[in-house]
């Protein structure tokens, strides 16, 4: 189910370039750009083309445009449109490598990464900024924005897919804080998308997924004062996952919105688990909530870590291991707590190397209507990421392991999916990712990209 190797399997191929179409004038594009245009054979090309996941190293674009200005982005769009595949790259974390199209043009936005926080508390963020860039710039100004965890993920992908993260129950999704987005459209226009000026496009950019509609070059966000936070992690002994999951579900449902927690179940002959999370407030107020979870479980954790942290240091705690990582992953969405936790645990029993990560929604996420933004999972209980490390040699085996869990969750009535964990093999992926918002999203894609300039294997043109 998870991570089919890239091929144009969903729907049909895009139409061929129209009459009179020509090959891309790479020399001309290079001459018009401020930033470098790298082609195969150039010394820096091989590093520039690679994404976060080494399993995507077999993707070889025709060129990487390291855009140094909005005009560079515009020139790249106009040069490549309907001639070769075209994709923007921010952090390069597309799970299956859509931001490095074979034989296409990569618009590398990482030079457009400035973060500015004026006195009104808004933040302007270049679309090439990573979460490390964003959290650093905001914390220096005493401000905060809810977002993802991995520091090398790009703010663009996070926002355009919705933006789940460790502060979401208190502050909502990243896209809920979007004020405006500067974009380059498929026909080379530059415009600022806002709720009043371009309501359909602005709506679609908040959860409609990266790679669709237009290339965003800069975001403006509303931010909040940076709070003091508590981070925590409780590891439980192997063999107790069913008890912990049974207790964790009503515990996090009833918890105040200041508390966010996930449950990470690790596969094995006897699966184990840990509960990690973040509390907006001091550890003295967080510890009684954690004591309640332990009491509900009836299981003492083998380790318990609870620390007061600043906003930036708390985000760094969740940032994971730096450097590129090879993995296979997919997702599901729990519309409600699992009714049979033991059967969920059974899906991980006897396997190796697979994690099922349940991230609690609720709180401020549900304050926004299902169709108020393009992100459709507002009333869901939690997202589920199915994740496993892999190598090129083990990819096929690992893919089957991940797919078995994905299918097993569906058999338990757990459907849906999160577009930022995109998976070309997820059955009925468009409905899973977009739900009741799919029809409107298709219309926005048609209106802003009628010639399918931004088409790819799971674009809205294929939905």
pLDDT digits (tens, 9 = 90+) for 217-238: 999 999 999 999 999 999 999 9
Query: 9 pLDDT exceeds 70?
Result: no
Q: Smallest Cα–Cα separation from 386: which of 432, 329, 425?
A: 329
Q: Which residues of 99-111 are buried (b: 16+ CB within 10 A; e: fewer)?
A: bbbeebbbbbbbb
Strands 105-108 and 63-66 come out as: parallel
- Residues 6 or more apart from 231 whose CB is under 8 A from it? 276, 277, 278, 279, 305, 306, 307, 309, 314, 317, 318
Look up residue 150 and give its two tokens: 């991995």
| Domains in the chain with CATH codes | 26-108 (3.30.43.10), 115-225 (3.30.465.10), 229-434 (3.40.462.20)
Query: 17 pLDDT exceeds 80?
Result: no
**185 vs 191: CA distance, rounded Å:** 8
Question: What pLDDT does 321 receive?
Answer: 81
Q: Which residues pair with 178 in a beta bridge?
A: 221
> SS3 for 303?
strand
- Residues 6 or more apart from 29 whose CB is under 8 A from it? 37, 63, 65, 75, 76, 79
Q: In the structure, what pLDDT confidence band is assigned to residue 2 with cuts at 50, 70 and 90? A: low
Question: What pLDDT does 1 receive?
Answer: 53
Question: What pLDDT does 322 receive?
Answer: 83
Ordered alpha helix ranges (H), 131-214: 131-140, 155-161, 168-171, 199-205
Query: 14 pLDDT exceeds 60?
Result: no
Q: Is the CB of residue 341 less than 8 Å from the CB of residue 242?
A: yes
- Residues 6 or more apart from 283 whose CB is under 8 A from it? 230, 306, 307, 308
- For the residues 89-94, what does the mean pLDDT come to? 97
- For the residues 398-419, what does the mean pLDDT come to? 97
pTM: 0.95
Question: What pLDDT does 3 receive?
Answer: 53
Question: What pLDDT does 274 receive?
Answer: 98
Q: What is the DSSP letter of 195?
A: T
- For the residues 358-386, what does the mean pLDDT come to? 98
Q: Within a 10 A sphere around the Cβ of 19, how many other Cβ atoms?
A: 5
**37 vs 363: CA distance, rounded Å:** 45
Q: How far is CA 360 from CA 65, 261, 299, 374, in A?
A: 38, 6, 21, 19
Percentage, residues of the chain above pLDDT 90: 94
Percentage, residues of the chain above pLDDT 70: 95
- For the residues 311-315, what does the mean pLDDT come to? 97
Look up residue 441 and give its two tokens: 């999203």
pLDDT digits (tens, 9 = 90+) for 26-55: 999 999 999 999 999 999 999 999 999 999
> SS3 for 332?
strand
pLDDT digits (tens, 9 = 90+) for 174-190: 999 999 999 999 999 99
- Residues 6 or more apart from 107 whose CB is under 8 A from it? 65, 67, 73, 76, 77, 86, 87, 88, 89, 215
pLDDT digits (tens, 9 = 90+) for 148-167: 999 999 999 999 999 999 99
């Amino acid at each position: 189910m998870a991570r089919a190797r890239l091929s144009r399997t969903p729907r049909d191929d895009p139409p061929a370039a129209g009459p009179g179409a020509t090959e891309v004038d790479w020399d001309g594009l290079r001459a018009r750009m401020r930033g470098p245009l790298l082609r195969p054979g150039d010394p820096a090309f091989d590093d520039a083309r690679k994404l976060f996941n080494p399993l995507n190293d077999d993707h070889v674009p025709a060129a990487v445009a390291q855009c140094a200005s909005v005009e560079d982005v515009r020139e790249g769009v106009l040069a490549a449109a309907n001639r070769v595949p075209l994709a923007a790259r921010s952090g390069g974390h597309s799970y299956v490598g859509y931001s490095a199209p074979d034989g296409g043009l990569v618009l590398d936005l990482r030079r457009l990464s400035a973060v500015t926080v004026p006195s009104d508390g808004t933040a302007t963020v270049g679309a090439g900024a990573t979460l490390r860039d964003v959290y650093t710039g905001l914390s220096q100004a005493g401000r905060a924005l809810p977002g993802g965890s991995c520091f090398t993920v790009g703010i663009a992908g996070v926002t355009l897919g919705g933006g789940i993260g460790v502060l979401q129950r208190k502050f909502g999704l990243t896209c809920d804080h979007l004020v405006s987005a500067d974009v380059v459209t498929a026909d080379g226009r530059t415009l600022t998308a806002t709720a009043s000026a371009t309501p359909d496009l602005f709506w679609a950019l908040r959860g409609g997924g990266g790679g669709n509609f237009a290339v965003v070059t800069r975001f403006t966000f509303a931010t909040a004062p940076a709070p003091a936070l508590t981070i925590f992690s409780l590891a439980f002994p192997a063999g107790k996952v069913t008890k912990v999951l049974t207790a964790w579900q009503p515990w996090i449902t009833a918890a105040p919105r200041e508390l966010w927690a996930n449950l990470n179940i690790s596969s094995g002959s006897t699966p184990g688990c840990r509960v990690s999370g973040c509390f907006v407030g001091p550890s003295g107020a967080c510890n009684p909530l954690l004591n309640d979870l332990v009491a509900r479980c009836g299981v003492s954790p083998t380790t318990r870590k609870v620390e007061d942290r600043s906003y930036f240091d708390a985000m760094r705690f969740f940032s994971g291991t730096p450097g590129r990582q090879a993995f296979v992953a997919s997702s599901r969405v729990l519309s409600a707590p699992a009714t049979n936790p033991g059967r969920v645990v059974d899906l991980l029993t006897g396997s190796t190397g697979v994690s099922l990560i349940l991230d609690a929604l609720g709180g401020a996420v549900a304050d926004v209507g299902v169709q108020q933004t393009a992100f459709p999972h507002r009333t869901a209980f939690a997202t589920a990421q199915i994740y496993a490390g892999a190598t090129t040699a083990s990819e096929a085996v690992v893919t089957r392991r991940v797919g078995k869990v994905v299918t097993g969750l569906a058999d338990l009535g757990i459907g849906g999916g999160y577009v930022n964990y995109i998976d070309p093999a997820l059955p009925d992926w468009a409905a899973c990712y977009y739900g009741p918002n799919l029809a409107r999203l298709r219309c926005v894609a048609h209106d802003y990209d009628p010639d399918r300039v931004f088409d790819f294997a799971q674009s809205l043109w294929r939905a």
